[in-house]
Amino acid sequence: MFYDGLKNDHGLPHDPLKQLVAPRPIGWISTCNVDGARNLAPYSYFNLVGDKPGIVMFSSVTRKHTLANIEATGEFVCNLATWDLREAVNRTSAPVAGEVDEFELASLTPAPSRMVAPPRVAESPVALECTSFQILDLPDGQGGEHPAKVCFGLVVGVHIDDRAIIDGRVDATILRPIARLGYMDYAVVETVFAMERPTR
Ligand SMILES: Cc1cc2nc3c(=O)[nH]c(=O)nc-3n(C[C@H](O)[C@H](O)[C@H](O)COP(=O)(O)O)c2cc1C
């Protein structure tokens, strides 16, 4: 089948697009507002887009608390969403008021970060402390502006649970990250294979 990307006339009962770019990693993003109140929510329009230095991005499809906090403070932490934490990750996506601390809502432990003010999730085996350097508006495809914005962050601090480091390498089968597919579906990393790149 083929459909027009702007008309979105796929004719299927559910929009297939998110299932077509999958799996998408989940940035489980902790922030604070200007008064220091904590916020935590998952974002699967998320990825690492550069290294040395590490650069991450995520997209907020409307102006949510995470984006508002980053606009105000310039800081965030991307915690790794894992199989063991899947229920807590989902819980923190609830559309609750800005005053609600999702660490408390999901019975998670805030651990102090080293380089930024927002805490990391102590239960998560990986956390990337970030400072935001650009927030981009997105087009709506009709000459206007979409409510979505993409936030880019510089990775200024990296936490890794030592138990996930085996022979000097971080073992993905120990971390077991979860990722978003389309619909209400997720994937979990359980099988890993390696391939050498061609030299010419
Ligand atoms: C796994 C998962 C991934 C999500 N990814 C996104 C995303 O990429 N962008 C977005 O705007 N909302 C996303 N959401 C919805 C937000 O997590 C949800 O709207 C949340 O309430 C936002 O919280 P905040 O207002 O505290 O930032 C996702 C939800 C789940 C469960």
Per-residue pLDDT of 19-56, as tens digits, reads: 999 999 999 999 999 999 999 999 999 999 999 999 99
Q: With 0.75 as the threshold, say if the pTM is over it.
A: yes
Share of the chain above pLDDT 90, in %: 96
Whether 145 has a pLDDT exceeding 90, the answer reads no
Contacts of 4 by beta carbon, 8 Å cutoff, 6+ apart: none
Taking the centre of ligand 1 as the mean of its atom positions, its distance from the CA of residue 137, in whole angstroms, is: 18
Whether 148 has a pLDDT exceeding 90, the answer reads yes
Nearest CA to ligand 1 atom 20: 93
Average pLDDT, the chain: 97
98-137 pLDDT tens trace: 999 999 999 999 999 999 999 999 999 999 999 999 999 9
Q: How confident is the model at residue 162 (pLDDT cuts 50, 70, 90)?
A: very high
Nearest CA to ligand 1 atom 10: 60
Average pLDDT over residues 141-165: 94
Average pLDDT over residues 151-156: 98
Q: What is the pLDDT of residue 88?
A: 98
Average pLDDT over residues 66-93: 98
Q: Residues 77, 120: contact at Cβ < 8 Å?
A: yes
Average pLDDT over residues 61-75: 97
Whether 141 has a pLDDT exceeding 90, the answer reads no
Q: What is the pLDDT of residue 29?
A: 98
Taking the centre of ligand 1 as the mean of its atom positions, its distance from the CA of residue 151, in whole angstroms, is: 14
Taking the centre of ligand 1 as the mean of its atom positions, its distance from the CA of residue 120, in whole angstroms, is: 17
Q: Residues 25, 46: contact at Cβ < 8 Å?
A: yes
Contacts of 29 by beta carbon, 8 Å cutoff, 6+ apart: 40, 41, 42, 43, 46, 58, 66, 76, 77, 78, 79
Burial of 123 (0-12, 13-18, 19+ CB in 10 A): middle
